Structure 1
Amino acid sequence: MNIKAVAKRANVSTATVSRTINGSDKVSPETAARVHQAIGDLNFIPNTNARALGSGRSNLLGLIISDITNPFFPELVKAFEDIAIGEGHEVLIANTNYDPHRTMHCVTRMIQRKVDGVAIMTSEMDEHLIDFFRRSQIPVVFLDLGTPRPGISCIHIDYSAGVEMAMSHLVGLGHKRIAFISGPMSLASAHTRYRAFMESSARDHLNADPDLVQEGNHRPDGGYEAMKRILASKNRPTAVLASNDLTAIGALGAIFEHGLRVPQDISIIGFDDIQLSAYTTPPLTTVHVPHGEIAKVAVHALLSTKQETGKKLLQGEQHHIRATFLQRHSTGPVPKRRS
């Protein structure tokens, strides 16, 4: 089945069928309805590549993420795709795995597919790759990276406020020896959370024991190993703040393996509020990062900076996302002093 058959069925030209498929306002509603009826009757599926060539638009949005194995990202991907489809766009997803060479491949692939915009949900992106998008007149939205420019919008999550809320909760429960398991310090978002922890510790005059601050990898195995190092210190903490939920889940394993109870012996807080965090034992107290809001802002930022083919991109904007504290059952009062 091809476009000629649709044109014959609807008694119009192939050009009219093409314009109807591409959403042109030059086709009357009555004619467009007749064309769509013919498409349905013949089970015709338009060639999206041909549409992109003809209209200059692919109705395709790109989404680049860092780590598909981290549940934070699949939840973000689902929300992004749901919203994009609602806006009439499909989504092309690429996973960098924190690899610069793979990131370059992802960017090239997006440009080759003539995407209408790209959401880069990673904490790292070389400036020369950003220039690729700019030269190609493709709108971009970044998460935790960059500053707004024409065609470039930025979404910043207030990690610092989230860490401060978590620390205030622990201090309010009487905790003074609070450990921290960071993410990879090469990531801007992980460094921001680490810095917020150090600032909160100093403000609350907490014990600045370097053994209580360990670097993880934002995965359960990293949280498990970091927690083992913390528990090996001479004076173990009464509470732990993890840079993300996967780290906290790994830390829970090390705590239980050590024969300790949560929260009776040690409290723990995660960050991100992935779905799994509600089903750990005990359910994890965490900082909620709204995936749906991030996705909605990202899609709308891309569509709002997109212009007609051949015109300059509109100025991007800065968007701020607020994290909120979510208390479950992994935190409790500081345990009585051990004899």
Structure 2
Amino acid sequence: MSGVGIKDVAKLSGVSTATVSHVINKTRYVSDETKRRVLGAIENVGYTPNIHARNLASGRSRTLGLIISDITNPFFPDLVKSIQERALELGYDVIVLNTNYEPARDARYVQRLLELRVRGVMILTTEMDLSVIERLSSREIAVVFLDIGKVGPHTSNIRVNYEKGVHEAVEHLLELGHRQIAFISGPVRFKSAQFRRQAFLETMTSHRASLHTEPLILEGNFKLESGEQVVREMLRLKSRPTAVLAANDLMAVGALRELRRAGLQVPRDVSVVGCDDISLAELTDPRLTTIMIPRTEIGTAAVEAVLRTNSAEGREIRISTQLLVRQSTDAARY
């Protein structure tokens, strides 16, 4: 039916246009019976609210923006799913934008989200230019970061406790008798990579007296292929490490593949530990020991924080980790 408006819905359901608006926008309590009549009338007449006009009138939409680094990384789909589910429960939709690790996209995406008058933005990337962030805060748009942000007006930060997870992973390997442990880090310019790298260094340094060796750190780029490449380099070393700790599961899977290609068995010859607990970690052979980062908890916290972070001062939300010991780690044999 063309030309159907909010007055038609109000007339059919026997309520005012204001009540219809409250039902659509969820801006005021409406009894279940009245809500049922209004929603039934909307369906019967085929009314579609003008979302753009509604956004202009209210100054904000019931939409949240989500900017992520790499949609092909298995860490992100589960995280996006949890964000969308929690947002839907609270009556919001989510627009997902993927930077593919290209900082040049940041400004373009933020401008697009501003044009859409989103209620808030969740930035789950490895880095973002400060000037882009300031554009959001100057418009009083609520922002939530994962690891890379500073708490301030309209801005909250979710901080994963990588230190706990990495410490537990290193201690686990040391208890198994490993003394030469290689760490495959992410790019050092990324804060999340810095946190994991520093945690490895601190834990290894605290055991320096018994190790008699300097910590070995090899840089990857969070992608599977870099895990393969780094292990190829590692196997050329005169003194080969007996264990590998990778800063994410994709690089750990790459390490598993390259070790097998080199004729080595995991964990008999080399133990391997990852970080993230993506679904692939359960499917590798052997199943991957890994540091579990709770993506559902992060997603729920991100949505709730971005809706809570309005004019008030933001806050830091701490997320814990847990070491999941599976089959890719065992006692050192030499």
TM over 0.5: yes
The match for 1:180 is: 183
Q: Distance in 1 between matches of 2:33 and 2:242?
A: 71
User: What is the Cα-based RMSD across aligned positions, in Å?
Assistant: 1.8
Structure 2 residue runs of 5 or longer lacking an equivalent are: none
The 1-side partners of 2:163 and 2:30 are apart by 52
Q: Which letter does structure 1 place at the counterpart of 2:224?
A: P
CA distance in 1, matches of 2:29, 2:301: 31
Match of 2:229?
Answer: 225
The amino acid that maps onto 1:105 is R
| 1:99-123 Cα distance to aligned partner (Å, 9 max, x none) | 1210111111111111111111113
The aligned residue for residue 321 of structure 2 is 323
* Structure 2 residue 189 is matched with structure 1 residue 190: no
SS in 1 for 2:276: coil
- 2:77 is aligned to 74
Shift of 1:11: 4.4
C-alpha displacement of 1:34: 3.0
CA contact (8 A) 1:201 1:207 kept: no
Residues 1:10 and 2:13 are matched in the alignment = yes
Q: Deviations over 1:17-72 (max 9, x none)?
A: 33432234387766544322201223433232222223333111111111111111
Instruction: Count residues in correspondence.
Output: 329
Q: Percent same amino acid at aligned positions?
A: 47
Report the more deviating stretch, 236-245 or 24-33: 24-33
In the alignment, what sits opposite 2:160? 157
Matched, 1:289 2:289: no
Q: 1:254, 1:208 → 2: CA distance?
A: 25
Question: Judging changes above 3 Å, is the alpha-carbon distance between structure 1 residues 99 and 208 closer, same or farther for their aligned structure 2 residues?
Answer: farther
Any residues of structure 2 matched to 1:239-250 within 5 Å, and which? 239-250=243-254
In the other structure, the counterpart of 1:310 is none
Q: Against the structure 1 CA distance between its residues 87 and 207, is the aligned structure 2 distance closer, same or farther, given a 3 Å change threshold?
A: farther
User: What CA distance in whole angstroms lies between the structure 2 residues aligned with 1:137 and 1:33?
Assistant: 35
Map of 2:25 onto structure 1: 22
Please show how residues 253-264 of structure 1 align to structure 2 within 5 Å. 253-264=257-268
CA contact (8 A) 1:177 1:207 kept: no
TM, length-normalised to structure 2: 0.93
Determine the C-alpha separation between the residues in 2 that align with 1:198 and 1:247.
19
TM-score computed with the length of structure 1 as normaliser? 0.92
Unaligned runs of 5+ in 1: 307-312
1:64 counterpart (67, 89, 96) = 67
Name the counterpart of 1:265.
Answer: 269
Aligned to 2:182, what secondary structure does the other structure show? strand
Letter in 2 for 1:121: L
What letter corresponds to residue 246 of structure 1 in structure 2? L
